[in-house]
Structure 1
Amino acid sequence: MKKTQSKSKFPVSKAEGKRLLHQMQLIRRFEEKSAEVYTETKIRGFLHLYVGEEAVAVGVMQALKEEDYILSTYREHGHALARGMDPGAIMAEMYGKVEGCAMGRGGSMHLFDKNIHFYGGNAIVGGHLPMAVGMALASKKQGKKNVTCCFFGEGAAAEGEFHESMNLAALWDAPVLFLCENNLYAMGTALEYTHSEQQLEKKGPTYGIETATVNGMDLLEVMKAAQKAVDYIRETGKPYFLVCYTYRFRAHSMFDAELYRDKAEVEEWKKQDPIPQFKKYLLKEQLITEKEIASLEEAVEKEVAAAVDFAENGTWEPIEDLCRFVYSENQEP
């Protein structure tokens, strides 16, 4: 188990501290509720939860601007919420309702919202890395100053797309942030069985890409590392590789029997839970009170309940629209 000790603080204001805690709590409760309604068969298909990794999504989003592009994996609920996507639109999408962010046609793994430049949610492991390089290159050629941030897991770093994307990004000076969420097990195989070099951060320099690691269980450290990475990209126009060591507390998906890791290991990692850690920091710095924390938790509970109500009351797509958006040579788009 890889642990990275925090060595410095990234100070936050009282208002910012509450906002950040609210975001992490919202992601945690949203995911817990998603699991609940999944067992009631209201959400079908695959469901990959982000419980335990909240500090990465929330921390990285603080460094990104409104005009920046974001691509993610199938474990993207946390990224979407941290980016500002409406919880109701996400829940409705997972329910398969028309009011969902992709009109109910994408489901849990394909969240999408062009208004906030959130371009998926991609189900193919590593498939979105070349897309990220292409989008970053397009931005560069168009004279834009935005960053393309690509979230992926360590499993994707064993795919050919990873190496091709890193190579081309370095070759073309594409302004892309390669953000690896290393939770050590990919779908269900330990890192030691999939990578001959388990220190993934060593892969970046081989392509001449600036690289760093961070304790992904510490929100403040993630914020600091992400800001440094994004500042570098904006200043140089070159790619950056940031490896966040994190851990998912739940199984890979709702179908996962989770026989590949010891329960004691999971409990040990839970001691680094980013939400209690950040609460402790805010209390210690007198940026929040226990009463305010309780109030935030109550507000989050209401937000998630409202999202579920929105999805429950949503509209099923009519059968006659089954072929809508499916084009043929003789059909007008």
Structure 2
Amino acid sequence: MKEENFTKEQIIGFYKKMLLIRRFEEKAGQLYGMGLIGGFCHLSIGQEAVAVGTHAASKLGNAFITSYRDHGLMLACDSDPKVIMAELAGKETGCSKGKGGSMHIFDVEKKFFGGHGIVSAQVPIGTGMAFASKYQKKDDIVFTYFGDGAVNQGQVYEAFNMASLWALPVIYIIENNEYAMGTSVQRSTLVPELYKRGESFGIKGKQVDGMDFFTVYEATSEAVEHCHAGNGPMLLEMKTYRYRGHSMSDPANYRSKEEVENVKQNHDPIETLKKYMVDKKIASEEECKKFDKEIRNLIKESEDFAKHSKEPESSELYTDVYK
């Protein structure tokens, strides 16, 4: 489906959702720097088109599972930013009652299953969810996201083998932001075309421009059709880029400022969609400024909600724990 198949309202909605992720992540980074968010915090600034584009191509009932760089995808799944911000701040009103923090956020109602702190742990879990979907004779696909660093973990290939052997309805999405925890793909991987990683398991792969919403949507729609036809898993390598370090403690000295600025100036997913909307007269520059103001107000509400929410009671430490 090309961009012409969307209504103006839909395109504006996608733009606002990507902008919401950007402003949320900027605020999270700011609150972390002030000490109001503790633990680890991984931002997805620059990667918004992947989350919003893949979710837009999904069907009702599809499930989503990702790594610890998770705020953006949870927002793409239409979760409440107030509840996410409260979780980041460790408050009782958070989605995990303040016990999960940035890396372990969940919204089962929205079919968002985390938020996983162990590198690539979500890949076999997502594969297991796809097995459950097929076993229960449901028609639900599981979108399983992981990074270019996680690609080299052994459990990824155990999951690939099982998914392909049993033709499970899972779409593997590699968010290739090029640097893992600080080592470039070129230095850590002999074959840097990561979409080829499923070939030996018979998994069809495709490399996608992850900085363009429409390209992400179209490739994901193809993968959804592939899965719905009973063809088993598909692998999408989304070529994207993160503007910040791996986590808030990473100064990202392994790449030049010129490289980052070049991506911001020439390939920013939000600016690319904004230019499209202005050129096609879907929205004016003034309207885009109004959208930004609305979203900044929503983020301020989320910040205030998190700041004014209570800390969890000490007794909460013993709930939801397996003994």
**TM-score when scaled to structure 1?**
0.94
Partner of residue 287, structure 1: 282
Matched position secondary structure for 1:203: helix
Structural mapping, 1:7-26, within 5 Å:
9-11=2-4, 12-26=6-20
Contact kept, 8 Å, 1:10 with 1:223, in 2: the verdict is no
Q: Give the partner amino acid of 2:107.
A: D
Partner of residue 245, structure 1: 239
Alpha-carbon distance in structure 1 between the residues aligned to 2:319 and 2:194 = 43
Structural mapping, 1:53-202, within 5 Å:
53-202=47-196
Alpha-carbon distance in structure 1 between the residues aligned to 2:287 and 2:225 = 33
Alpha-carbon distance in structure 2 between the residues aligned to 1:10 and 1:161 = 37
Alpha-carbon distance in structure 1 between the residues aligned to 2:157 and 2:217 = 26
Task: Rate the CA distance shift 1:210–1:318 in 2: closer, same or farther, 3 A.
Answer: same
Alpha-carbon distance in structure 1 between the residues aligned to 2:256 and 2:7 = 39
1:237 to partner: Cα distance: 4.6
Gaps of 5+ in 1: 1-7, 329-333
Alpha-carbon distance in structure 2 between the residues aligned to 1:141 and 1:327 = 26
Partner of residue 257, structure 2: 263
Task: Rate the CA distance shift 1:112–1:40 in 2: closer, same or farther, 3 A.
Answer: same
Partner of residue 202, structure 2: 208
Q: After the TM superposition, which of the residue ranges 68-77 and 289-298 deviates more from structure 2?
A: 289-298
Gaps of 5+ in 2: none
Contact kept, 8 Å, 1:216 with 1:244, in 2: the verdict is yes
1:327 to partner: Cα distance: 4.7
1:291 to partner: Cα distance: 2.0
Alpha-carbon distance in structure 1 between the residues aligned to 2:144 and 2:182 = 22
After superposition, the C-alpha distances for 1:232-255 in whole angstroms (9 at most, x for unaligned) are: 111125101011000001111110
1:190 to partner: Cα distance: 0.8
Contact kept, 8 Å, 1:133 with 1:165, in 2: the verdict is yes
1:321 to partner: Cα distance: 3.4
Contact kept, 8 Å, 1:66 with 1:116, in 2: the verdict is no
Q: Give the partner amino acid of 1:297.
A: D
Matched position secondary structure for 1:124: coil
Q: Give the partner amino acid of 2:223.
A: A
Task: Rate the CA distance shift 1:223–1:321 in 2: closer, same or farther, 3 A.
Answer: closer
After superposition, the C-alpha distances for 1:15-49 in whole angstroms (9 at most, x for unaligned) are: 01110110010000000011111111000111100
Q: CA RMSD for the aligned pairs?
A: 1.2
1:164 to partner: Cα distance: 1.0
Matched position secondary structure for 2:144: strand
Structural mapping, 1:17-56, within 5 Å:
17-56=11-50
Alpha-carbon distance in structure 1 between the residues aligned to 2:231 and 2:64 = 17
Q: In percent, how many aligned pairs have the same letter? A: 40
1:324 to partner: Cα distance: 2.8
After superposition, the C-alpha distances for 1:52-96 in whole angstroms (9 at most, x for unaligned) are: 000000000011123111100100111000011100000000000
Q: In structure 2, which of residues 268, 273, 277 is the aligned counterpart of residue 273 of structure 1?
A: 268
Matched, 1:325 2:320: yes
After superposition, the C-alpha distances for 1:85-110 in whole angstroms (9 at most, x for unaligned) are: 10000000000001101111100001
1:313 to partner: Cα distance: 1.2
Q: In structure 2, which of residues 306, 310, 313 is the aligned counterpart of residue 315 of structure 1?
A: 310
Alpha-carbon distance in structure 1 between the residues aligned to 2:285 and 2:54 = 26
After superposition, the C-alpha distances for 1:223-280 in whole angstroms (9 at most, x for unaligned) are: 1111111111111251010110000011111100212111111111112001111000
Alpha-carbon distance in structure 1 between the residues aligned to 2:31 and 2:128 = 37
Task: Rate the CA distance shift 1:141–1:116 in 2: closer, same or farther, 3 A.
Answer: same
Q: Give the partner amino acid of 1:161.
A: Q
Matched position secondary structure for 2:45: coil
Q: Give the partner amino acid of 2:70.
A: E
Alpha-carbon distance in structure 2 between the residues aligned to 1:10 and 1:33 = 31
Alpha-carbon distance in structure 1 between the residues aligned to 2:233 and 2:316 = 42
Matched position secondary structure for 1:37: helix
